[in-house]
Chains A and B, each alone.
Chain A
Amino acid sequence: MPEQLVFAMEVFLNGLMAGVLYALVALGFVLIYKASGIFNFAQGVMALFAAMTLVGIQKGQVPFAHLINAMLGTHIHHFGWHIHSFIAILLTVGVMILLAWAVQKVVFKHLVGQEPIILFMATIGLAYFLEGFADLMWNSEIKKLDVCMTANACLPQGINIPIDEFTYGIFGYGFFIDNLDITATIVAIILVAALVIFSQYTKQGRAMRAVADDHQAALSVGISLNFIWVLVWSVAGFVALVAGIMWGAKSGVQFSLSLIALKALPVLMLGGFTSIPGAIVGGLIIGVGEKLFEFAIGPMVGGATENWFAYVLALIFLVFRPQGLFGEKIIERV
């Protein structure tokens, strides 16, 4: 097999893995958009906030330490304990649910029935607030995220040896596939499967779909819109946590984590804002597309095509298929 083709295969696989992470972020957007028509600009910051909270709880950081110290003249930073990753994740889920409830109570409850653009502006405000709030609560240092079930069983990082050896045996060239990417893929698959089962086979899932479909009809069968919106924001918060863990473990927990939200935009334009399969397929196409493009065309144009490829692809889609691959077709009746 020609050498270039083998390289391309490796690039393709790595692209798929990157795509899974994009899809994870896009998924959070789709969930909220479907249920409430809100385009949640704060989804990326929610991932950052979730990852920071997780690290903070794990390491026993004192929340608002800087604020407390500044006001009381104390010097506390840590409780001095470490909390097991599993318990820390559960606690973080709790914090995300609390956040969902607060967002609904303080912001969106008062904006029911407003224009989409107003709801969107509110989420931009929310994004900036949450960013500052996260810094205040957990300080703005770059943090390392390790998720470990036992001392030796952490989220795996580095080259996957079996794949390396297996491909070396076939092609005479070992593929470099990061263990973390493989884990992320497996987690994403489980997450999506769980979401599908939840929305198809449970009362709350059915209520969620009902609210997404028709508010008035949902009210008439006894569904509380407020409750469902809190639920949806909680689920989106949970998805943000998973995305935050995966991205955080990959590149550290820092401000740039919130910018992955911008990468999710082209994914949504490809997949459609209302489709969960669309978010996944869109993520994979963007992931594979940008890696292969960089590999094949990059060297000719001086590289760094990954920065703009996704957006150009999204632009092309906007021109020729504005509803995305799986989105509901926009039909205006006259």
Chain B
Amino acid sequence: MSTQESYVTEDGRTIGPTVMEMKNITLRFGGVKAITDISFDIREGEIRAIIGPNGAGKSSMLNVISGFYVPQEGEVWYKGKKRPPMKPYQVAEQGIARTFQNIALFEGMTVLDNVMTGRIRQMNAGLFSQAIWKGKAEQEEIENREFVEKIIDFLEIQHIRKTPVGRLPYGLKKRVELARALAAEPSILLLDEPMAGMNVEEKEDMSRFILDMNDEFGTTIALIEHDMGVVMDLSDRVVVMDYGKKIGDGTPDEVRSNQAVIDAYLGVSHD
């Protein structure tokens, strides 16, 4: 069990206390168990990876955290409180942003508008004030716009600000989706296979962005990946899943030397 005290990593980042804890989560679809009795925690400021072979239940786990699935058993604790069953938009309102494996962007809207939707939580001017476009609404739009421009600069997508997302290539779409999630200033950022389908160069870019986000904004990141190599370089701690069960949890080095993990990845003969 990890302690609640903050510590400083080798590269000088501060890892805070636990912000989210999953306790004995079990998720079933009909008779099929997607997740069986899994517990782990996410600490403030860390990069936490969930890895495992295809079909291990990683995406299901992410969907439980972001409210798209409601587990049959177990508890989700967030910021020291037990979270009641919630709709995905309520989870988002609590400051948990996410990206999707198959990219879910607003294809008809420009990059700028897409990223602006990430700020919805920060905009609370009344409908009337917005209708006449005065006072709080105007000021709010300007402030949020400035913040969004910062994110756009940070992720190096200035040149496509006004382009409708539908016209962009895959790699850039992934980056826009990341920008939208980051624009929400999330307490936890969930990334569902951020490198899936990318070439080596794009993977390197994405890794750099993830590390920089964590470093500069102090964003807590939980990511899913099945590419072991990438994950080991990025993350502070790793949860390993196989067939819906947790088979390992710890630092990359600990996980790498875990026999169960090696078996799951390399295959082991059951004779």
Binding site for B on A (CB under 8 A): 197-198, 201-204, 206-207, 209-210, 212-214, 216-225
Contact = CB atoms under 8 A, between A and B. Distances in A.
Contacts of A214: 104-107
A221 B109 contact: no
| A-B residue pairs, 8 tightest by C-beta | A222-B92, A217-B104, A213-B106, A219-B88, A202-B130, A203-B123, A222-B93, A216-B104
Most A CB atoms within 10 A — which of B90, B105, B130, B184?
A: B130
B133 to A, nearest CB: 7
Nearest to B123: A203
Interface string B158-189: 00000000000000000000001100100000
B108 A220 contact: no
Given A197-B133, A216-B104, A218-B117, 4 more contacts: A204-B127, A220-B98, A220-B100, A225-B89
Contact of B92 (A197, A209, A220): A220
A213 B164 CA distance: 12
Nearest to B105: A217
Contacts, number: 80
A117 to B, nearest CB: 25
A224 B67 CA distance: 13
Given A210-B106, A214-B105, A220-B97, A203 B120 contact: yes
B116 interface: yes
Contact of B130 (A203, A213, A220): A203
Interface string B174-208: 00000011001000000000000000000000000
B87 A217 contact: no
B114 to A, nearest CB: 8
A220 B107 contact: no
Main secondary structure of the interface of A (DSSP, over half): helix
Given A207-B117, A222-B89, A202 B108 contact: no
A222 B184 contact: yes
B118 interface: yes
B33 interface: no
A197 B93 CA distance: 26
Given A209-B113, A210-B117, A220 B131 contact: no
Contacts of A222: 89-90, 92-93, 120-121, 184
A212 B121 CA distance: 19
B23 to A, nearest CB: 24
Nearest to A222: B92
A221 B90 CA distance: 9
B125 interface: yes
Contacts of A212: 108
Contacts of A209: 106, 108-109, 113
B26 interface: no
A39 B33 CA distance: 39
Contacts of A198: 130-131
Nearest to A198: B131
30 contacts: A202-B137, A203-B120, A203-B123, A203-B130, A206-B113, A207-B117, A210-B106, A210-B109, A212-B108, A213-B109, A217-B100, A217-B106, A218-B89, A218-B106, A219-B68, A219-B92, A220-B88, A220-B97, A220-B100, A220-B181, A221-B97, A221-B117, A221-B120, A221-B121, A221-B180, A222-B89, A222-B120, A222-B184, A223-B117, A224-B89
A15 to B, nearest CB: 32
A280 to B, nearest CB: 18
Contacts of A197: 133
Interface in B127-162: 127, 130-131, 133, 137, 141
B66 interface: yes
A223 B104 contact: no
B125 A213 contact: no
Nearest to A209: B109
A206 B141 CA distance: 12
Given A201-B141, A202-B130, A217-B106, A223 B100 contact: no
Nearest to B177: A217
Contacts of A206: 113, 116-117, 120
A115 to B, nearest CB: 22
Nearest to A227: B89
B241 to A, nearest CB: 22
Nearest to A231: B127
A216 B127 CA distance: 24
B107 A207 contact: no
Contacts of B141: 201
B66 A220 contact: yes
A221 to B, nearest CB: 5
A209 B116 CA distance: 12
A198 B127 CA distance: 10
B96 to A, nearest CB: 9
A213 B107 contact: yes
A307 to B, nearest CB: 37
Contacts of B93: 222
A125 B127 CA distance: 32
